[in-house]
Amino acid sequence: MQDDTLAARRRLYLLSRVVVARNFRRRLTLAQVAAAVSSSPRQVQRAYAQFGELSFHEDLRGRRLAAAAQLLAEQPAIPVATVARIVGYSQPAHFAAAFRRRFGLAPALFRARARAHRAQPGGRSPEPLTPLAPTGPTAPTAPTATLSPLAADGSPVRSPTRASRTSASSVSAPARRTRISVP
């Protein structure tokens, strides 16, 4: 493979990771990421295979679950189902299953253990609480920015009123096409 092809594919990989990192809370597909970086889905797959330790889907899932773990530990007032929605899962059951596979604990139990960990003498420790988290080169990296509760569309999450709780579950929001940008 020629050097310029190799450099272009590495750039494609890095740009794709940036798009995933910035947009993991949205419904995100390989085709959308490829369009955002002006490439084809197959080229993005090849770039992930050549330069990444994770596939596109593993990268996306890892970012979502790392953000979810951070929210569960730091925002005890946000319900688990809302955390699932904030990080990009439309089905709380799918989120709970993925979270359990990744961390070895149900999200609610993870939150309870994080709360107990913070309650220990000395308060917060400098080490994050990530039980059974994979280590080494295949472990997904956690987002470095401090997360605030955001909805999938990027708007701030507001606590629902009694009337909106019942109506929100029975009415689904219309699907929106969102444009993904690259720096």
Query: What local confidence, expressed as pLDDT, does residue 124 receive?
Result: 57
Model confidence at 84, in pLDDT bands (50, 70, 90)? very high
Residue 150 pairs in a beta bridge with: 156
pLDDT tens-digit series, residues 19-78: 999 999 999 999 999 999 999 999 999 999 999 999 999 999 999 999 999 999 999 999
Sign of the Cα pseudo-torsion (9, 13, 18, 22, in order):
positive
Query: What local confidence, expressed as pLDDT, does residue 25 receive?
Result: 94
Query: What local confidence, expressed as pLDDT, does residue 144 receive?
Result: 36
Query: What local confidence, expressed as pLDDT, does residue 120 receive?
Result: 83
Model confidence at 5, in pLDDT bands (50, 70, 90)? confident
Query: What local confidence, expressed as pLDDT, does residue 3 receive?
Result: 86
Contact between residue 112 and residue 75 where contact means Cβ atoms under 8 Å apart: no
Query: What local confidence, expressed as pLDDT, does residue 119 receive?
Result: 83
CA distance 141 to 54: 11
Assess whether pLDDT exceeds 60 at residue 158: no
Q: How distant is the alpha carbon of residue 6 from its chain centre?
A: 28
Assess whether pLDDT exceeds 70 at residue 9: yes
Which of 164, 135, 170, 179 is CA-nearest to residue 28? 179
Query: What local confidence, expressed as pLDDT, does residue 37 receive?
Result: 96
Assess whether pLDDT exceeds 70 at residue 173: no
Q: Who's near 123: CB < 8 A, 6+ residues apart?
A: none
Contact between residue 24 and residue 88 where contact means Cβ atoms under 8 Å apart: yes
Between 172 and 83, residue with greater pLDDT: 83
Computed on alpha carbons and rounded to an integer, the radius of gyration of the chain in Å comes to 18
Cα separations in angstroms, 7 against 2, 53, 89? 9, 17, 34
Q: Using CB atoms within 10 A of its CB, is residue 151 exposed (0-12), middle (13-18) or buried (19+)?
A: middle
Query: What local confidence, expressed as pLDDT, does residue 129 receive?
Result: 45
Query: What local confidence, expressed as pLDDT, does residue 135 receive?
Result: 40
- Number of other residues whose CB lies within 10 A of the CB of residue 145: 9
Q: What percentage of the chain carries pLDDT values higher than 70?
A: 66
Q: What are phi and psi of 135, to 5 degrees?
A: -120, 170
Mean per-residue pLDDT over the chain, rounded = 77
Between 2 and 66, residue with greater pLDDT: 66
CA distance 117 to 175: 40
